[in-house]
Amino acid sequence: MSDQKQMKKQRVTVKDVARDLGMSVATVSRAFYPGAVIAEKTRSTVLERASELGYRPNPFAQSLITKKTQIAGVIVSDLPNPFYPEVLTEMTGKLQATGMNVMLAVAHEPEKIDEAVELMLSYQPDVVIILAVNLASDARERCESAGAPVIFFNRLSADGLGYGISCDNEAGGRQAADHLIDQGHTKLLYVSAFLHASTNVERQKGFCERAIERGVEPPQIIEAGRFSYEAGYAAGLDTKQLAKPIDGVFCANDIVAIGFIEGVQEGLGLRVPDDISVIGFDNITMAGWPSHKLTTVAQPLDLMMSAAVELARALASDEKVEARTQRFAPGRLIERNTTKNRLPKTGDIK
């Protein structure tokens, strides 16, 4: 064991670099701070030699001087939903490209988001990004009181006071209604998830209002309760409880739609799209798999993530940000194999 300890390389410190270069610790330290007063030739010499020696500046020590940790805290509560791992993969890379360190806190139950917030704040992040269906206003206030502005991604703050990046979910719901009605569906259903989540509320509003505008009966509603496969599957089984038959369904998101389809097919023997058409929302990778081929409304994720990262960078740098919320038009509706045109062909009309 002692031999192993001897073989372990000692961490190189700023004092080691200073001693090697014959400079003061203060001079070497300044080389790692953009904007610090130091000759460019000296900075270049220090950075080059530090790299050769394997020295890495301690971000926690730096934060004592700059009052910035360069940490973007990301809180998520719905990792089983494939939408969030896909977003996290892309967003983490984009945040790191700006020089920020990403720290993830997972609330395995939505009710435990407050605990995740407290854990995150203990590391003094410069900004907190919420990828979760709900966050109490007092938790947002705690973040901001600790000097960490909050950005809601893919939803907006319930009290309207947090920063938010969102798709125009209401417009997406209208797209779904138009697509089904244009294909001859008139007996519609909306499968809801997380009743008070802004994404769910807006998608339901757009879908139901557009259906009424188009002259069909108000869609029936099934409350799935969560954005999950299991909730969608259960909702599919619940269709047998509906007061009226259905022929077109819009689900709160893709994973709910995938579960719903398997629920009605395996549990009730209905065929999709022959008996009913189903549309999801998000266009997660799984939606395009050959086993699913789900018709869905795509989110403009590239635009949304770029906006979120730029907002995080600006807030972490204490730049003044005027607009607290940004909404992006939904992407196109992608038609795959779960919807079917029920209108008679022109040649069939006599």
pLDDT score of 347: 58
Q: What's the CA gap between 103 and 92, in Å, rounded?
A: 9
Please name which of 257, 269, 252 lies closest in space to residue 233, comparing C-alpha atoms.
257
Q: CA–CA distance from 200 to each of 123, 171, 210, 231 (Å)?
A: 32, 12, 15, 14
Residues with pLDDT less than 50, the chain: 1-8, 64, 350
**Rounded-to-10 torsion of CA 137, 164, 223, 76:** -80
pLDDT score of 338: 98
**Rounded-to-10 torsion of CA 110, 114, 119, 120:** 80
DSSP 147: T
Q: What is the pTM of this model?
A: 0.81
Phi, psi angle pair for 335, to nearest 5°: -90, 125
pLDDT score of 1: 45
Tell me if the bond preceding 80 is cis, omega within 30° of 0.
no
Question: Hey, what CATH topology would domain 2-57 get?
Answer: 434 Repressor (Amino-terminal Domain) (1.10.260)
Say which CATH class 71-167+301-328 falls into: alpha beta
Work out the number of other CB atoms within 10 angstroms of the CB of residue 197: 24
pLDDT score of 350: 45
Domain definitions of the chain by residue range: 2-57, 71-167+301-328, 169-298+333-340
| H helix runs in 54-108, sequence order | 59-66, 83-97
Q: How many CA atoms lie within 13 A of 79 on its CB side?
A: 12
Same fold, 2-57 and 71-167+301-328: no
Q: What's the CA gap between 282 and 298, in Å, rounded?
A: 5
Phi, psi angle pair for 41, to nearest 5°: -65, -40
Q: How far is CA 66 from the centre of its chain?
A: 29
Say which CATH class 169-298+333-340 falls into: alpha beta
pLDDT score of 284: 96
DSSP 263: I
Bridge partners, 325 (sequence order): 164
282 SS3 class: strand
Q: CA end-to-end span of the chain, whole Å?
A: 91
pLDDT score of 102: 92
